[in-house]
């Protein structure tokens, strides 16, 4: 049977936000113990005392590498321009033997259209296309024989230019995304290149998301 402190650690590790709050000392251990007690009792098949859970939380003592935080802060402070684009649609199709050909034809039609937002990703079973609404007709015509799983309109993209050293520092995306998550903003997709980081959000959330990213270097890490 697992010990109490092992179960507590497993619970905390499942929640990065909770782990960070413990590391920063901004969470009440007694309150947290009462919250996770039912899960611990069920796992151990016995009534575990609150004091034992508190002691396990203290024993866990998650810490973040201060040197990593310094490196992240330096990169965050060098974030470049932020670009917002609206009127974007998100398409998801089932993978097929012909879908790559359709993507290639779509790329040919988009050639020279510098103001058009376009991105795609292919998974094991699905392909996603994120595209400016102005090209909606091309998608309808080219992919009409494909199996459309989802189509979401009313979206915007927010792109941040990243400094060159971002590739050498772990945790950059986490420290950006946690600010968005703490505000309850849903991110539909994330697109990244070596020096750019783009999130796709609903139009209703774009102003709040932009404000957070614009002021991200003024917050705590």
- pLDDT tens track for 115-125: 899 999 999 99
Q: Between 104 and 220, where is the model more confident? A: 104
Neighbours of 168 (CB within 10 A): 9
Q: What confidence tier does 218 reach under pLDDT thresholds 50, 70, 90?
A: low
Helix (H, G, I), strand (E, B), or coil: what is residue 220? coil
Instruction: Set out the domains of the chain in order of their start, with CATH numbers.
Output: 4-63 (no CATH), 82-218 (3.30.2130.10)
What token pair was written down for 97? Answer: 């033997």
- Which pLDDT band, with edges at 50, 70 and 90, does 215 fall under? confident
Distance between CA atoms of 130 and 128, rounded to whole angstroms? 7
Helix, coil or strand: residue 201: strand
pLDDT digits (tens, 9 = 90+) for 7-40: 888 888 777 667 767 766 778 889 989 999 999 9
Give the residues across from 92 on adjacent strands.
128, 150
What is the pLDDT, as a whole number, of residue 63?
A: 52
Residue 54 has pLDDT above 70, yes or no: yes
Tokens of 183: 């505000």
> pLDDT by residue (tens digit) across 71-90?
777 777 778 889 999 999 99
Collapsed DSSP state (helix, strand, coil) of residue 68: helix
- What's the pLDDT tens digit per position in 136-189? 999 999 999 999 999 999 999 999 988 877 767 767 787 788 888 878 899 999
Cβ-contact 40, 53 below 8 angstroms = yes
pLDDT in the model for residue 57 = 87
pLDDT beyond 70 at 66: no
Unique residue bearing structure tokens 């005392």 = 49
Quote the CA–CA distance of 104 and 221 in Å, as a whole number. Answer: 42
How many Cβ atoms are within 10 Å of 29's Cβ, its own excluded? 16
Residue listed under structure tokens 């009127």: 87
pLDDT at residue 219, as a whole number: 54
Q: What is the DSSP letter of 195?
A: S
Q: How far apart are CA 89 and CA 131, in angstroms?
A: 6
């Amino acid at each position: 049977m697992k010990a109490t402190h092992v179960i507590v650690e497993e619970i905390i590790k499942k929640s990065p936000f909770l782990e960070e709050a413990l590391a920063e000392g901004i969470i009440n251990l007694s309150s947290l113990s009462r919250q996770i007690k039912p899960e611990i009792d069920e796992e151990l098949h016995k009534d575990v005392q609150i004091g034992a859970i508190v002691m396990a939380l203290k024993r866990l003592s998650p810490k973040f590498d201060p040197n990593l935080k310094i490196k992240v802060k330096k990169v965050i402070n060098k974030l470049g321009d932020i670009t917002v684009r609206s009127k974007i649609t998100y398409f998801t199709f089932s993978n097929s033997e012909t879908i790559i050909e359709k993507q290639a034809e779509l790329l040919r039609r988009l050639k020279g259209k510098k103001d058009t937002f376009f991105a795609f990703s292919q998974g094991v079973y699905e392909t996603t296309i994120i595209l400016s609404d102005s090209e909606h007709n091309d998608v309808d015509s080219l992919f009409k024989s494909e199996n459309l799983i989802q189509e979401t309109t009313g979206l915007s993209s927010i792109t941040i230019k990243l400094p060159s050293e971002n590739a050498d520092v772990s945790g950059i995306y986490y420290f950006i995304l946690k600010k968005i998550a703490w505000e309850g903003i849903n991110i539909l997709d994330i697109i990244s290149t070596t020096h750019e980081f783009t999130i796709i959000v609903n139009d209703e959330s774009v102003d709040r998301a932009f404000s957070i990213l614009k002021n991200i270097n003024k917050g705590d890490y």
